[in-house]
Structure 1
């Protein structure tokens, strides 16, 4: 069941929305050129037929400038959503705990698994696999959050 009153859930959804939909459009002053950009770098170029009279060099220069402007605006939308997400102290606590866990030495792994394991050995193996998965997820989050 979804908890709409949880601010962290709302911030997470806003961040996901920004990552998937952040888009911006820049126009030339004369209206002949437009570039639409997504935060991930995808761009769409729109040219009026009259823009072709500008020549290749001028057209390239203007499109490059418009693309840079549109891309910066789209990425600013994502940065804003990310800043809002990071403002929650629970996120900082989770990142801190993740870093702390990553800094701990990992337990030595057995060289080969026995053909038969006791329940306690199976539980330990599952716990170690879970901890490995948590460390991988924490590393991914750390890279994603840029910390």
Structure 2
């Protein structure tokens, strides 16, 4: 007589991760959302005030680009599965490159960004959050792994 076999497949398979965002993910999404609002507001004021935009169209256009990146990254992190996961990686990667390039250029040649952007001086005007946030975002995406439903 043989002993009944249990279904051990469920216990040896990879753990199923919930699609719902919890813990640090929620905080990350909240900070991205807050930065999206701040960058959008800042760029709106800068672009639609002719006295502001005229002397610094590059800097203020970069602020608007940063706002769009933060908005898309926030949405992608909220959805964070399927194609949205790839969108999150792309937007957060773009954000990191943007803050590093603009930050470096603003330090090396301050006159290039005499008018501040979200990313100038590595996000100093935002408490360096724009510099730290993409690093945390990439860490979270990598740590979270592929989401299974």
The structure number with the bigger radius of gyration is 1
TM-score, length-scaled by structure 2 = 0.29
Larger relative CO (CA 8 A, sep 6+): 1 or 2? 2
Q: Which has the larger share of helix? A: 2
